[in-house]
A = this chain, B = another copy of it.
Amino acid sequence: MSNNNLIKGSLQTIILKLLEENERMYGYEITQKVKELTAGEIKITEGALYPALHKLEAEGLLTTEIEQVDNRVRKYYSLTKDGQKEVDNKIVELQGFVENLQRILNPTWNPGLT
């Protein structure tokens, strides 16, 4: 995994969003999904991902269940009730920020087309 910084805090929102759609996912799966959705352009590093997952769990937004698959450990994450409530707030917040970014960077930008 490597590169791509750019928007602070967006990783949390990305994780929550994917778990809103997918019921449950494990860490490695999240990195692959993001890579797939962005044609390889965003690569989540483990050093960023795992601490972020642990933090979200510590905040009570995620829960985990560990499973054994082919002798390998998988730690599945899913949204808690609190997580389900938070995810939409986070998305709205990030979308709002992106809209404001467009207003600055793209003078001809028109909302509603995001």
Contact = CB atoms under 8 A, between A and B. Distances in A.
Interface of A: 4-10, 13-14, 17-18, 21, 34, 37-38, 41-42, 91, 93-98, 100-107, 109, 113-114
6 contacts: A6-B8, A8-B9, A14-B105, A38-B100, A94-B105, A95-B105
Contact of A114 (B7, B18, B42, B106): B106
B98 A101 contact: yes
Q: Is the interface of A mostly helix, strand, loop or mixed?
A: helix
A103 B21 CA distance: 13
A92 B94 CA distance: 19
A72 B95 CA distance: 39
A103 B7 contact: no
